[in-house]
């Protein structure tokens, strides 16, 4: 194979940084992270099925500081992947490819991710506080 | 331009990979299904914040909750393994390692689905 003799297409570092490429790779990264998180989801269901003791152990792990950081990251990744996934579905339907539209939907996804993540954790804190 | 494909291959539309748009389409179908399912799951978990074992057990044991949970898990893991396959195909160039890691991801996804469905059923059927 003489792959190194062939002309190569320009790689990432050639291009000026812009929002759309960052959001593109973040979609993939959040997807991989969510896939890893499914292991925790399944473990949590198995713990619930196994009985009160194992469920308490599982909740202690999730409720620990590293567990909560993971859960926060997982929720943010979920909301980002969800919102940006809807943006991708519109692209699949041929909508919103123009640069202004792509940027507008991009900023919309970022704002929606922050709002939904804060709303979810704010709601959980309110319910924990007994509202 | 001359078409080098036989008429039957064109009608079947399976392309070079032999599966047509099946993978792509399955990823979109599960994505659409996961919009309401994941929103339902997150809202439910937020509402159940701080719930004890008995409350959580009773919640999962409700028939419609069990059904939605099982659907959520199947759609999530199907979508996840389809996505992980694309990521591996993009970044792992060694053919043997690529196939091995894709098969491993699919095997893990099947194990997780069966385990999760069994757990939900166990709670739902009071085993």
Domain membership of residue A11 (yes or no) is no
Domain membership of residue A70 (yes or no) is yes
Query: Which of the 8 DSSP states describes residue B125?
Result: T
ipTM associated with this complex:
0.89
B49-70 pLDDT, tens digit per residue, is 989 999 999 999 999 999 999 9
CATH of B22-124, one of 3.40.50.300, 1.20.1070.10, 3.30.70.890, 1.20.1300.10: 1.20.1300.10
Domain membership of residue A91 (yes or no) is yes
**Distances from the Cα of B84 to the Cαs of A4, A31, A122, in angstroms?**
28, 8, 32
B82-110 pLDDT, tens digit per residue, is 999 999 999 999 999 999 999 999 999 99
Domain membership of residue A29 (yes or no) is yes
A52-105 pLDDT, tens digit per residue, is 999 999 999 999 999 999 999 999 999 999 999 999 999 999 999 999 999 999
pLDDT at residue B14, as a whole number: 83
Question: What is the pLDDT of chain A when averaged over all its residues?
Answer: 93
Number of domains within chain A: 1
Contact between B37 and B71 (Cβ < 8 Å): yes
Distance CA A69, CA A80 (A): 16
**Using CB atoms, which residue from A56, A120, A123 is nearest to B53?**
A56
Compute φ and ψ for B2, nearest 5 degrees. -75, 135
CB–CB contact A45 B116 (8 Å): yes
pLDDT at residue A73, as a whole number: 97
3-state SS, chain A, equals: CCHHHCCCCCCHHHCCCCHHHHHHHHHHHHHHHHHHHHHHHHHHHHHHHHCHHHHHHHHHHHHCHHHHHHHHHHHHHHHHHHHHHHHHHHHHCCCCCCHHHHHHHHHHHHHHHHHHHHHHHHHHHHHHCCC
A126 sits in which H/E element: helix A99-128
Domain that holds residue A53: 17-122
pLDDT at residue B16, as a whole number: 75
**Chain A residues within an 8 Å CB radius of B83:** 28, 31-32, 35
pTM, two decimal places? 0.90
CB–CB contact A46 B116 (8 Å): yes
Give one word for A79, left, alpha or beta, with left for phi > 0 and alpha for psi -120 to 50. alpha
Residues in chain B: 127
Chosen for mutation from B39, B41, B50 (greatest number of chain A CBs closer than 10 Å) is B50
Q: At A52, which CATH number? A: 1.20.1300.10
Domain membership of residue A8 (yes or no) is no
């Amino acid at each position: 194979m003489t792959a190194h003799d062939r002309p190569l297409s320009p790689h990432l570092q050639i291009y000026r940084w812009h929002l759309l490429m960052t959001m593109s790779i973040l979609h993939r990264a959040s997807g991989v992270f969510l896939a890893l998180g499914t292991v925790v989801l399944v473990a949590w269901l198995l713990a619930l099925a196994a009985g009160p003791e194992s469920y308490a152990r599982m909740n202690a792990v999730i409720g620990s500081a590293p567990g909560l950081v993971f859960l926060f990251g997982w929720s943010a990744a979920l909301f980002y992947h969800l919102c940006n996934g809807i943006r991708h579905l519109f692209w699949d339907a041929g909508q919103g490819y123009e640069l202004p539209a792509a940027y507008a939907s991009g900023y919309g996804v970022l704002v929606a991710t922050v709002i939904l993540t804060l709303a979810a954790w704010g709601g959980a804190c309110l319910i924990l506080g007994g509202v | 331009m001359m078409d080098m494909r036989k008429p039957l291959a064109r009608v079947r539309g399976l392309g070079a990979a032999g599966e047509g748009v099946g993978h792509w389409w399955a990823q979109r179908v599960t994505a659409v299904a996961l919009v309401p399912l994941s929103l339902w799951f997150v809202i439910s978990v937020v509402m159940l914040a701080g719930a004890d074992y008995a409350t959580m057990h009773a919640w999962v044991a409700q028939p419609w909750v069990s059904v939605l949970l099982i659907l959520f898990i199947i759609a999530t893991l199907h979508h996840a393994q389809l996505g992980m396959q694309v990521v591996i195909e993009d970044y792992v160039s060694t053919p043997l390692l690529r196939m091995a890691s894709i098969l491993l991801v699919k095997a893990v996804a099947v194990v997780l689905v069966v385990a999760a469905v069994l757990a939900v059923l166990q709670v739902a059927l009071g085993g």
